[in-house]
Amino acid sequence: MSSSPRISRRTAIRGAVLVGVGAAAAGGTVLTSNLAHADAARPTIASCAEWGARSPRGLTQLTNNPNKIVIHHTATSNSAGTTKQDAYNLAYQIQGWHMNPPNNWADSGQHFTISRGGYVMEGRHTSLQHLDDGRGMVQGAHAPGANSNGIGIENEGLFTSALPPEALWNSLVDFCAYICSQYNIPATEIFGHRDYVATACPGDALYAKLPQLRTEVKAKLDGGGGDPPDFSVIVDNTAGDFGASESWGTSTYSSQKHGSDYRFAQPEAVSDAAYFRANIPAAGNYKIETWYPADPGYNAATPFIIYTANGNQTVKVDQRTGGGKWVSLGTHALTAGNKSVVAVSRWAGGSGYVVADAIRVTSA
């Protein structure tokens, strides 16, 4: 998320997926949900035959189901047309890049492609049949570390700073919901290419939207969900809804603090989190923010654990900067009830203090 892309748009789609094999851990997501998906509607999906794909050279069929979705951008032009024919041309072009020298792959590397006009297309042959069956998958060539258990989706555009057009985004949400529904994949298990290998893909702008994508897909799977009633609460560390052990020090030092003081602790691999509770009025999507004083000596990656309806999600915050204001931890689906919503973990790297000061939860 930090640097500008080091991979040119052409190599990004042509071959960079092969660089740097090694599966990085995919975010700090801990899965706890059980699955009770509503059947998400099947969007229109053009098969390889419909868009006129070349024949593949030989594909590896897997009996396991995929357990995740991996989001890519094509790193092609953002000004391309939005017609069905434009979409089919794109799919054909990508297949050529992947099958021709120097790649010489068996077929399109990705399982599916979505155009800027919102057309969903099969990428690698047999991906669609597996998906409609909800059984097995064809091994992909889109992200080392996720090719045998992740469905790869190429989204047309270069999303380093530009965002996907609305038609593409809506199709992506609908299509991810269908994939999750068919394979019983939780909406939390949607990742970016860069979660697996060093790459700019799917671009900083689209990568930053993945929490929203998970939230919107979850809402579809829950049958539409619906917005919670207007609600906002601030929980300061001095409130009764805050809890931390005596290992957490108390300080009034920083002028950037929220309220009268804040709590801090040394990073250590111990289960000794500081907890913020809130009484969530109804299940739905909520924006969650934190307030902390910043200091150059504080932790560069303080883990904030969000107790979402889909399991725990960890959001790391650089507490060296950005203090004295509300900092977003993303929008998350929460269940109703009076319970812990956010924890600040001491299980952080480095030596700088982790700081717990205040959170704000607002209906999204």
Which chain residues interact with Zn ion by CB under 5 A?
Answer: 72, 193, 201
Q: From the CB of 162, what's the least distance to Zn ion, in Å? A: 16
Angle at 294 between CA 290 and CA 296, to 5 degrees: 145
Q: Which is nearer to Zn ion, 201 or 213 (CB)?
A: 201
Q: From the CB of 245, what's the least distance to Zn ion, in Å? A: 43
Q: From the CB of 5, what's the least distance to Zn ion, in Å? A: 11
Q: Which is nearer to Zn ion, 110 or 308 (CB)?
A: 110
Q: Which is nearer to Zn ion, 72 or 257 (CB)?
A: 72
Q: Which is nearer to Zn ion, 147 or 308 (CB)?
A: 147
Q: From the CB of 233, what's the least distance to Zn ion, in Å? A: 39
Q: From the CB of 156, what's the least distance to Zn ion, in Å? A: 12
Nearest-angstrom CA–CA distance, 46 and 118:
12
Q: Which is nearer to Zn ion, 110 or 254 (CB)?
A: 110
Burial pattern 244-269, b for ≥16 Cβ within 10 A else e, equals beeebeeeeebebbbeebbbbbbbee
> Which one, of 56, 125, 44, 130, lies nearest residue 87 by Cα?
44
Helices (H), the chain: 9-14, 48-51, 84-99, 127-133, 166-183, 204-207, 210-221
φ and ψ of 283, to 5 deg: -65, 140
Q: Which is nearer to Zn ion, 124 or 193 (CB)?
A: 193
Q: From the CB of 308, what's the least distance to Zn ion, in Å? A: 26
Q: From the CB of 119, what's the least distance to Zn ion, in Å? A: 19
Nearest-angstrom CA–CA distance, 87 and 156:
9
Burial pattern 9-29, b for ≥16 Cβ within 10 A else e, equals beebbbbbbeeeeeeeebbeb
Contact 29, 189 (CB under 8 A): yes
Q: From the CB of 157, what's the least distance to Zn ion, in Å? A: 12
Residues 6+ apart with CB under 8 A from 12: 5, 73, 75, 199, 200, 201
Q: Which is nearer to Zn ion, 7 or 282 (CB)?
A: 7
Nearest-angstrom CA–CA distance, 313 and 211:
10
Q: Which is nearer to Zn ion, 95 or 237 (CB)?
A: 95
